Amino acid sequence: PPLSPTSNYALTLTHTHIHIQRLSSRPGKEARLLLPLSELVGCSCPRSPAPPLLVLYWYPPGKRRKGVSRRRQVKAYLAESRPEAERWSAAIQCLLREVPVTANTEFSRSLLPRTRRLLLLVNPFSGRGQAMQWCQAHILPMIREANISYNLIQTERRNHARELVREISLPEWDGIIIVSGDGLMHEVINGLMERPDWEQAIKTPLGILPCGSGNALAGSINHYAGYDMCLREPLLLNCCFLLCRGGIRPLDLVSITTSLAWGFVSDVDIESERYRGLGSARFTLGTLVRIASLRSYKGRLSYMPPSVVATTSNGTPPPRRPLSRSITEGLDGFSKTPIHRTCSDMGISEQRSLLKTERRRGRWRCGRTVASQGVGRELRGGHGKMWLGSDLSPSLPLSVTIPSPTSRKFWTKTKTRPVQGPTHSSSTLAPTPSLLKNRPFVSLPFDVPRDDLLPPLDQPLPTRDWVTIEGDFVLVLALYQSHLGADLHAAPQARFDDGLIHLTFVRAGISRATLLRLFFAMEKGNHHSVNSPYVSHVSCKAFRLQPLSPRGTLTVDGELVPYGPLQAQVHPSMARLIVGDTGVKITRL
Ligand SMILES: Nc1ncnc2c1ncn2[C@@H]1O[C@H](COP(=O)(O)OP(=O)(O)OP(=O)(O)O)[C@@H](O)[C@H]1O
* pLDDT attached to residue 484: 84
Q: Return the CATH number of 258-309+364-570, one of 3.20.20.70, 3.90.870.10, 3.40.50.970, 2.60.200.40.
A: 2.60.200.40
C-alpha 422/C-alpha 399 separation (Å) is: 9
**Domain coordinates in residue numbering, the chain:** 8-104, 117-254+320-328+336-357+578-588, 258-309+364-570
Kindly state if the Cβ of 182 falls inside 6 Å of ligand 1: yes
Output the pLDDT for position 565. 87
Say what percent of the chain tops pLDDT 70.
65
Per-residue confidence (pLDDT) for residue 48, from 0 to 100: 87
Per CATH, the number for 117-254+320-328+336-357+578-588 is 3.40.50.10330
Q: What is the mean pLDDT of residues 393-404?
A: 21
Is the pLDDT score of 140 beyond 90? yes
Banded pLDDT at 194 (limits 50, 70, 90): very high
Which of 174, 182, 252, 269 does the annotation list as catalytic?
A: 182
Mean pLDDT of 176-194: 94
What does the chain come to in residues?
A: 589
Question: Given this model, what pLDDT does residue 384 score?
Answer: 24
Tell whether the model's pLDDT for residue 309 goes beyond 60. no
- Check pocket membership of 558 for ligand 1, CB cut-off 6 A: yes
**pLDDT higher than 80, residue 511:** yes
For the Cβ of 214 lying below 6 angstroms from any atom of ligand 1, the answer is: yes
pLDDT at 566: 87
In this predicted structure, the answer to whether residue 588 has a pLDDT above a threshold of 70 is: no
Please give the pLDDT value at position 389. Answer: 20
478 Cα to the center of ligand 1, angstroms: 21
Give the model confidence (pLDDT) of 95-122 as tens digits.
999 999 988 899 999 999 999 999 999 9
Confidence (pLDDT) at 181? 92
Q: Is 269 a catalytic residue?
A: no
**Cα 284 versus chain centre, distance:** 20
- Lowest mean pLDDT, pick from 20-29, 161-170, 490-499: 20-29
By CB atoms closer than 10 A (0-12, 13-18, 19+), residue 345 is: middle
Yes or no: say if 213 and 280 are a contact pair by the CB < 8 Å rule.
Answer: yes
Residue of 122, 179, 180 to test ligand 1 pocket, by largest number of atoms within 8 Å of CB: 180
ipTM score of the complex?
0.96
Question: What is the fold, at CATH topology level, of the domain defined by 8-104?
Answer: PH-domain like (2.30.29)
Of 311-325, 492-506, 569-583, give the lowest mean pLDDT range.
311-325
Tens digit of pLDDT for each residue in 229-287?
Answer: 888 999 999 999 999 999 999 999 998 887 433 444 555 555 556 555 545 555 555 66
Q: Is the separation of the CB atoms in 500 and 254 below 8 Å?
A: no
Query: Which residue, by CA, sits nearest to atom 30 of ligand 1?
Result: 158
Confidence of residue 476 (pLDDT cuts 50, 70, 90): confident
Question: 28 in helix, strand or coil?
Answer: coil
Confidence band (pLDDT; 50, 70, 90) for 547? confident
Tell me what the pLDDT averaged over the chain comes to.
Answer: 74
The span from the CA of 552 to the CA of 147, in Å, is: 49
**The pLDDT of residue 289:** 57
Q: Is the peptide bond before 124 cis (omega within 30 degrees of 0)?
A: no
pLDDT of residue 143: 97
Cβ of 167 less than 6 Å from ligand 1: no
Which atom of ligand 1 is closest in space to residue 154's alpha carbon? 1
11-18: Cβ within 8 A, 24+ apart: 11/54, 11/77, 11/88, 13/88, 13/91, 13/92, 13/95, 15/95, 18/56, 18/92
